[in-house]
Structure 1
Amino acid sequence: MFRRLIILAGVALLACALAAPALGVRVKVRVEGKTTTIFGATQSTLTTGSNALAALDTASVAGEFYYHVRQTSFGPFVDQIGLYPGAGTSGWSFKINGVSPPVGADQATVKDGDTVLWYWSTFSETGGSPTLLLRRRSARNCYTVLSQNDQGVSSPATGARLLVDGRSVKTRAGRGCVGKHRGLVRATLPNAVRSNALT
């Protein structure tokens, strides 16, 4: 009897271990195009596979947008999302939790709670375009805008503007207050990727 109970418990544990990867992980996904947000302005949470490419695939189904992957000697390469094919020194990149991984999207693993950002970027000798991160401050209707480089190092986004309800509000050292509003707040800065949206 005791032996059967041990075997049954072992089978149950094995079934749980095998089922967990099949359930997927829950990550926040956003896709920023050249001129507009393609998916997840507020960073939609999706259940997806275990890497950044799977997160893009899940977002494309949820948001009904097209993407194309080209097979290269380095592995799969995303060369188009929506209407924007990569060309020259511009193309698609991704970050996980604000950091550009040193591996391809199919090798960049994600775990529960991660944030995946796919974005259009222009590349230079210093890397890709900086991405903006918008955070709510404790003061009512006030926000902080941070600029993140490829390594995820953040600094105040000097010169950033907050966009809300058709208005543009200038920030000082990456901080600004928008007053009473109804719509989502976004941050922009020339040569940087738009921020996430907040209420």
Structure 2
Amino acid sequence: MGPLAEGGFVLRRSLVLVAALVAALIVAATALAAGVTVRVEGKTQTIFGSVPAKVDAANALQALDLASTLGEFYYQLTHSSFGDYVSQIGKYPAAGSAGWVFKVNGVSPPVGADKVTLEDGDAVLWYWAEFGPNGGPPTLELKADGKNCYRVTSYDDAGKATAGSTAVLHVDGRRITTPLGRGCVGAHRGLVRAYAVGAVRSNSVK
């Protein structure tokens, strides 16, 4: 085999190896991704997924990135000595004791969004939070509980659940209180959501 032929063989072999490596990385990334839901609640309104959207993501930051593509909204990632963090979503940048945080299954993880390994069925929530002496605002979760009835649960930063007894259900222009965290709205056409003063609004449920 001449030098040119030998060189061509080596080049082809290198290209094959590179292609195989890229394919392996794609397969590995796909294998790492989990089927999760993601929702983004802004300072004044929902930014993405009032009914949480399904995406395949390996971590909470990737879930946000996929949501930003689907929802066509802007977010900014800032680098610091403590690691990367989300410094802005949509219109509002983090400032002072307020900024953008996330929960997975109602719990605020003690690590960065890119360090959280997601599993199938996880629920990722990104939201605007203003922090005080007791931490961030509680987040509300709404679930159907019987015909035209709904149950509201409030979660603190640690994921401790309590009945959302002060929440109000909004549907079709009506407002219904939730004694003991449960309320019935009667026949309705629109989506139902729960709101409470000082809390992050809930997901929407039909």
Q: Partners in 2 of 1:173 and 1:122 — Cα distance?
A: 26
150-159 or 15-24, larger mean C-alpha shift: 15-24
Q: Partners in 2 of 1:17 and 1:53 — Cα distance?
A: 19
Opposite residue 46 of structure 2, the aligned amino acid is T
**1:163 and 2:155 equivalent?**
no
Q: Partners in 2 of 1:166 and 1:16 — Cα distance?
A: 52
Match of 1:28 among 12, 37, 59: 37
Opposite residue 27 of structure 1, the aligned amino acid is V
1:70-117 Cα offsets, whole Å, 9 max, x none, are 101111111110111111111111000110000011111112211100
Q: Partners in 1 of 2:126 and 2:64 — Cα distance?
A: 8
Hey, what does 1:5 align to over in structure 2?
Answer: none
Q: Partners in 2 of 1:106 and 1:17 — Cα distance?
A: 18
**Superposed counterparts of 1:55-66, under 5 Å:** 55-66=63-74
Write 1 or 2 for the structure with the bigger share of helix: 2
Hey, what does 1:185 align to over in structure 2?
Answer: 192
Hey, what does 2:122 align to over in structure 1?
Answer: 114
**1:130 and 2:138 equivalent?**
yes
Hey, what does 1:174 align to over in structure 2?
Answer: 181
Identical-residue share of aligned pairs (%): 55
Q: In the TM superposition, what is the alpha-carbon distance from 1:52 to its structure 2 partner?
A: 0.6
Q: Which runs of 4+ in 1 moved over 6 A?
A: 15-18
**Superposed counterparts of 1:77-96, under 5 Å:** 77-96=85-104
After TM superposition, the score normalised by the length of structure 1 is 0.88
Opposite residue 177 of structure 2, the aligned amino acid is K
Hey, what does 1:70 align to over in structure 2?
Answer: 78
Hey, what does 1:141 align to over in structure 2?
Answer: 148
1:46-72 Cα offsets, whole Å, 9 max, x none, are 122x11111100100011000001101
Q: What SS does the corresponding residue of 2:64 show, helix, strand or coil?
A: helix
Query: How big is the alpha-carbon RMSD for the aligned residues of Structure 1 and Structure 2?
Result: 1.6
Gaps of 5+ in 1: 1-14
Opposite residue 120 of structure 2, the aligned amino acid is D
Q: Partners in 2 of 1:73 and 1:20 — Cα distance?
A: 29
Opposite residue 60 of structure 2, the aligned amino acid is A
**Superposed counterparts of 1:27-46, under 5 Å:** 27-46=36-55
1:127-173 Cα offsets, whole Å, 9 max, x none, are 111000101112x1001111100111110112110001111111112
Q: Partners in 2 of 1:16 and 1:198 — Cα distance?
A: 40
Opposite residue 137 of structure 2, the aligned amino acid is S
After TM superposition, the score normalised by the length of structure 2 is 0.85
Gaps of 5+ in 2: 1-22
Q: In the TM superposition, what is the alpha-carbon distance from 1:198 to its structure 2 partner?
A: 0.2
